[in-house]
């Protein structure tokens, strides 16, 4: 005990001494020891971005968000746009591996195609961040939506809206080859397993195509005018589903749940005008910020690529009539690009 007291007294004395010297120190400023290595770790590094295609709200949003976050630190940001061509994408990833960027941000077209390539990239010392669509290989980081959760929450919304009604629902899937579509369907099945009273009268793939979605929905609504809800897999496609509901005069009677990146024109505006009843948004600017944060952390950590692996599943924003008017529920691509 005595020694503790002695130590405490000594510390107070030391504090008093340093206090008398403090004014001089304050004038000189204090160096923060970690910012310089951080800046050095980022400056001049190359981050390569391989989306499935540019020119749609998600990939444009991620691009703008990453650029805004990383370029001020002297990071060189390059993009390879395979324009929906899986082979071109695999070639882009292969050639990037030999170009050795510090980080690759990869948006997988499916679970398998890039898996081996991404493993090779991390073995060669490149951090790989996979976004929104993961592959079979688990890399340094995954940032993106949990499709199973999206399917579950959309279906919960539809099931709730169906209470006391016909309990007949339809499912408009995306493309059969897309894992995002298959995962979402799994989520739908999870909820339907708990609700045996719900009858699925139609479950068809519309290939992410609004015109096909509209054609399917029209036929289904003619056969089942008492349908109470539809689970759609992407808002860009379900604009067609919504058009079919509107033409049948069933807006407000058929509950339409969909999902997307939350861009104002494609999400909030359409919820406001009654086209969609629920749009599960994976808020693209937040995803972009999380990607950028992960890149900063990885580059400054000095961790060996592939030695740490983690996931950042996006917190979903359910957009309904209640919040569609707010500033924060949706984002504008034009603002993000500024």
Partner 1 sequence: MKRVRISQQEIVFAVFAALFLTFSVFLSGFLSADNMLTLLQNVAVLGILGLAMAIVVIGRGIDLSLIAALAVPGGLVLQMVQNGHSLPASLLAAGLLSIAIGLVNGWLIAYAEVPPLFATLATGLFVAGLGQAALFQLDVVQWSEGMAGFERLGQGSILGIPTSIVMFAIACVVVFILLRKTRWGAYIYAIGDNPFASRVTGIPSRPIIVLQYVLAALIGCFAGLVLAASVNSMPTRIFNSTLIYDVILVVVLGGIGLSGGRGGVVNVIIGTLLIGTMLNGMTILNIPYAGQNLIKGLVLLIAVITDTLLNPRNEETAQQGDI
Task: List interacting residues with partner 1 (CB under 8 A).
Answer: 53, 55-57, 60, 83-84, 176, 201-205, 207, 209-211, 214-216, 218-220, 222-223, 236, 239-240, 242-243, 246-247, 265-266, 269, 275, 333
Q: Closest CB to partner 1 among 41 and 215?
A: 215
Q: Closest CB to partner 1 among 35 and 223?
A: 223
Q: Closest CB to partner 1 among 46 and 218?
A: 218
202/5 Cα distance (integer angstroms): 79
Q: Closest CB to partner 1 among 121 and 267?
A: 267
For residues 115 and 91, the answer to whether their CB atoms sit within 8 Å is no
| Shortest CB 294 distance to partner 1, Å | 26
| Shortest CB 215 distance to partner 1, Å | 4
| Shortest CB 243 distance to partner 1, Å | 5
Q: Closest CB to partner 1 among 25 and 176?
A: 176
42/47 Cα distance (integer angstroms): 10
Q: Closest CB to partner 1 among 203 and 286?
A: 203
| Shortest CB 203 distance to partner 1, Å | 7
Q: Closest CB to partner 1 among 141 and 228?
A: 228
| Shortest CB 218 distance to partner 1, Å | 5
Q: Closest CB to partner 1 among 117 and 192?
A: 192
| Shortest CB 308 distance to partner 1, Å | 35
| Shortest CB 272 distance to partner 1, Å | 12
Q: What is the 3-state secondary structure (H, E, C) of the chain?
A: CHHHHHHHHHHHHHHHHHHHHHHHHHHHCCCCCCHHHHHHHHCCCEEEEECCCCCCHHHHHHHHHHHHHHHHHCCEEEECCCCCCHHHHHHHHHHHHHHCCCEEEECCCCCCCCHHHHHHHHHCCCEEEEECCCCCCCCCEEEECCHHHHHHHHHHHHHHHHCCCCCEEEEEECCCCCHHHHHHHHHHHHHHHHCCCCEEEEEEECCCCHHHHHHHHHHHHHHCCCCCEEEECCHHHHHHHHHHHHHCCCECCEEEEEEECCECCCCHHHHHCCCCCEEEECCHHHHHHHHHHHHHHHHHHCCCCCCCCEEEECCCEEECCCCCCCCCCCECHHHHCC
| Shortest CB 94 distance to partner 1, Å | 23
């Amino acid at each position: 005990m005595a020694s503790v007291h002695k130590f405490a007294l000594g510390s107070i004395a030391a504090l008093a001494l340093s206090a008398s010297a403090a004014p001089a120190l304050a004038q000189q400023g204090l160096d923060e020891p970690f910012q310089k290595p951080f800046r050095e770790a980022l400056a001049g590094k190359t981050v390569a971005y391989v989306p499935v295609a540019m020119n749609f709200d998600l990939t444009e949003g991620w691009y703008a968000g990453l650029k805004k976050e990383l370029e001020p630190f002297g990071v060189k940001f390059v993009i390879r746009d395979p324009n929906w061509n899986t082979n071109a994408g695999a070639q882009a990833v292969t050639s990037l591996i030999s170009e050795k960027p510090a980080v690759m941000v990869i948006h997988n077209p499916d679970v398998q195609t890039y898996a081996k390539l991404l493993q090779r990239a991390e073995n060669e010392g490149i951090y790989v961040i996979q976004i929104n669509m993961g592959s079979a290989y688990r890399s340094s980081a995954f940032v993106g939506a949990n499709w199973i959760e999206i399917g579950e929450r959309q279906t919960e919304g539809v099931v709730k809206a169906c209470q006391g009604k016909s309990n007949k629902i339809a499912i408009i899937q995306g493309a059969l080859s897309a894992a995002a579509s298959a995962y979402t369907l799994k989520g739908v099945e999870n909820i339907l397993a708990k609700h045996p009273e719900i009858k699925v009268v139609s479950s068809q793939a519309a290939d992410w195509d609004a015109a096909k979605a509209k054609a399917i929905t029209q036929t289904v609504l003619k056969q089942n005018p008492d349908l109470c809800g539809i689970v759609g897999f992407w808002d860009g496609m379900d604009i067609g589903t919504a058009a079919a509901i509107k033409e049948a005069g069933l807006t407000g009677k058929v509950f339409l749940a969909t999902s997307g990146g939350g861009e104002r024109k494609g999400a909030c505006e359409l919820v406001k005008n009654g086209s969609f009843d629920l749009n599960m948004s994976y808020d693209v600017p937040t995803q972009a910020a999380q990607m950028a944060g992960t890149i900063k952390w990885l580059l400054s950590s000095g961790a060996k690529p592939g030695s740490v692996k983690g996931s950042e599943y996006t917190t979903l924003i359910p957009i309904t009539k209640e919040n569609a008017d707010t500033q924060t529920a949706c984002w504008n691509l034009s603002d993000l690009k500024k």
